[in-house]
Amino acid sequence: MELTPERVAAERNWVADRADSVVPIVNDVRDDLGELFETDVAHVTEAQYVAEVDAVFADGDLAVNVAAMVAILRDLDVEGDYPGFIVDEILGRELAATIAGTQPLRTLGEATFHYADVHVHGPDEENAGVDDLEAALAAGFQERIPGWAWTERESPFAVTRER
């Protein structure tokens, strides 16, 4: 695989164009996890999703890595699917974490990927890696987009130096 600026832009467009299938996954995950954790979590709009896609791909070093994982998962298919189960899980988890950002969002992105992945099953005509890709996009971007109360407040653990 060769990654050029043009290829990274093409992968960005594919990710953005997938808003109509990824955003409902994000919102389903937020609804389910909100219920489990007894909190209300704001839904994500397609415009918010695309804005975060733009933010990820505006950072060139981040963009090239995200584009590479997206391209691999888009092309990944294993006859019978199950023998390829581990590689698409590893790539999906890492993609979700990379998109989500720094800790603790990175680890939450990984954990959320596994939750989303269990609930996402793509059409039979798509490669096996695409449903993992959509789960990864949903998990990673849902961490970046506001809506969780705990991310909207100042942390009680922040230490500042008083002068």
Domain boundaries of the chain, sorted by first residue: 5-152
Mean pLDDT of 60-71: 97
88-141 per-position pLDDT tens digit: 889 999 999 999 999 999 999 999 999 998 887 766 666 677 889 999 999 999
Contact 12, 63 (CB under 8 A): yes
Contact 100, 143 (CB under 8 A): yes
pLDDT of residue 112: 94
2-34 per-position pLDDT tens digit: 999 999 999 999 999 999 999 999 999 999 999
pLDDT of residue 84: 61
pLDDT exceeds 60 at position 163 = no
pLDDT of residue 125: 64
Model confidence at 81, pLDDT cuts 50, 70, 90, reads: low
pTM check: above 0.85: yes
Task: Report the C-alpha gap between 10 and 102 in whole angstroms.
Answer: 25
Q: Judge residue 89's burial from the number of C-beta atoms within 10 Å of its C-beta, 0-12 exposed, 13-18 middle, 19 or more buried.
A: middle
Which contacts of 83-88 are long-range, i.e. CB under 8 A and separated by 24 or more positions?
84/128, 84/129, 88/128, 88/129, 88/132
Q: 47 versus 77: which is more confidently predicted? A: 47
